[in-house]
């Protein structure tokens, strides 16, 4: 894994080249022109983690440049700043080390630091140690927390000390609305908040209601409700499913925080949902009243492996599919498999990870034979 080299002057050309690669990769499916959403050219990543290196009296952050053989080809790179990371992270990086350099209780055996920040500058810092965390450590850490103006967590083997809270609140602007998301330490969130906003706005644009009765949406792999909450106004009801207990809890908090009354999130895997939807008498179908829904649209945001076979087959039954993907290769595989039942109405590229080969994509599919329109 290469450490991104930030070069704002070169970014427009790099962005265009990556977008052209995506357009070419999907050309065989004859999609419409690719919608392209760029990133801020620097300070775009809201969360980062660094190893902490100790050399005599010196103390600094490092990352590893990893070559072809991850076990053998690892080059240590000192990171005094990191233009990829948010401005708030870059402010905190030197401030944290300066504060603890002569503070043995906080410095000794410190192994890793993780930063989680928001667009408004809120920050959560996790200090990870190779030693037990004592009450004396916590007293010192509370002083550090106040000094830096952050929320602080300490971690060690079988220990987690949350001094204030284990989350931040991110606010995203979505079609003139402000949506508030609890983002929990250690849980998945979109790392590039500005591109995240563009993804939500794109998903809203493709699902905008048409002149027909409003129906229901189901979202698989819904995480903390990122898309679920944003899309709620375009549907009668929304059901989000997620396997992570932490993410389900955060999603429910976010539903309440945003005062959304037509969304529910349940702890259910994609495979379980497929079985329950296929059988109205399935225990989970009855528990979640699935027969009472009128699903027109499926939203999926799967892991890099893409859709499993059962979910891919289940998707064929939906009139419309919104597919968010962090892996163009598995997206292409899944869209090719669905091409006999669905056509691509929109294809989008979101540059979540500038200066890397990684690409986030979105596809909006409509069943063949259905009117080419958006609706809830």
Count of C-beta atoms within a 10 Å radius of residue 279: 13
CA gap 376, 374 in Å, rounded: 7
Question: What is the β-pairing status of strands 151-156 and 159-162?
Answer: antiparallel
CA distance 331 to 307: 8
Largest CA distance in the chain: 70
Which residue in 219, 242, 360, 361 is the catalytic one? 360
- Active-site pick, 197, 326, 345, 361: 326
Concatenated DSSP letters of 298-348: EEE---TT---HHHHHHHTT-SEEEEEES-HHHHHHHHHHHTTTEEEEEEE
Q: How far apart, in whole angstroms, are the C-alpha atoms of residue 192 and residue 42?
A: 11
Give the SS3 label for residue 242: strand
Catalytic site residue 361? Answer: no
Q: Which two tokens stand for residue 208?
A: 């905008």
* Among the listed residues 185, 181, 122, 201, the one whose alpha carbon sits nearest the alpha carbon of residue 153: 185
Active site residue 360: yes
By annotation, the residues acting in catalysis are 326, 360
């Amino acid at each position: 894994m290469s450490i991104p080299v930030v070069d704002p002057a070169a970014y427009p050309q790099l962005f265009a080249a990556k977008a052209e690669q995506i357009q070419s990769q999907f050309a065989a499916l004859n999609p419409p022109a690719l919608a392209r959403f760029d990133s801020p050219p620097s300070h775009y990543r809201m969360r980062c983690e660094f190893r902490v290196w100790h050399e005599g009296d010196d103390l600094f952050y490092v990352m590893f440049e990893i070559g072809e053989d991850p076990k053998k080809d690892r080059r240590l790179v000192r990171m005094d700043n990191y233009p990829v990371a948010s401005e708030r992270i870059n402010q905190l990086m030197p401030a944290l080390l300066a504060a603890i350099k002569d503070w043995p209780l906080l410095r000794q055996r410190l192994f890793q630091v993780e930063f989680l920040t928001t667009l408004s500058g809120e920050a959560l810092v996790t200090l990870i140690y190779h030693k037990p965390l004592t009450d004396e450590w916590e007293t010192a850490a509370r002083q550090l927390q106040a000094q830096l103006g952050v929320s602080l967590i300490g971690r060690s083997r079988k220990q987690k000390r949350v001094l204030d809270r284990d989350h931040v609140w991110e606010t995203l602007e979505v079609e003139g609305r402000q949506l508030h998301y609890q983002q929990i330490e250690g849980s998945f969130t979109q790392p590039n908040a500005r591109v995240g906003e563009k993804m939500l706005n794109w998903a809203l644009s493709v699902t905008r209601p048409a002149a027909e009765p409003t129906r229901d949406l189901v979202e698989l792999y819904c995480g903390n409700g990122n898309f679920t909450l944003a899309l709620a106004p375009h549907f009668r009801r929304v059901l989000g499913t997620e396997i992570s207990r932490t993410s389900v809890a955060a999603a429910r908090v976010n539903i309440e925080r945003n005062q959304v009354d037509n969304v529910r999130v349940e702890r259910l895997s994609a495979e379980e949902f497929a079985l329950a939807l296929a059988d109205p008498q399935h225990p989970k179908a009855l528990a979640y009243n699935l027969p009472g829904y009128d699903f027109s649209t499926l939203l999926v945001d799967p892991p890099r492996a893409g859709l499993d076979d059962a979910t891919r087959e289940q998707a064929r039954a939906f009139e419309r599919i919104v597919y968010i993907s962090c892996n163009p290769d598995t997206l292409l595989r899944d869209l090719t498999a669905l091409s006999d039942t669905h056509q691509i109405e929109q294809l989008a590229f979101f540059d979540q990870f500038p200066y890397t080969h990684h690409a986030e994509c979105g596809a909006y599919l409509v069943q063949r034979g259905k009117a080419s329109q958006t609706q809830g």
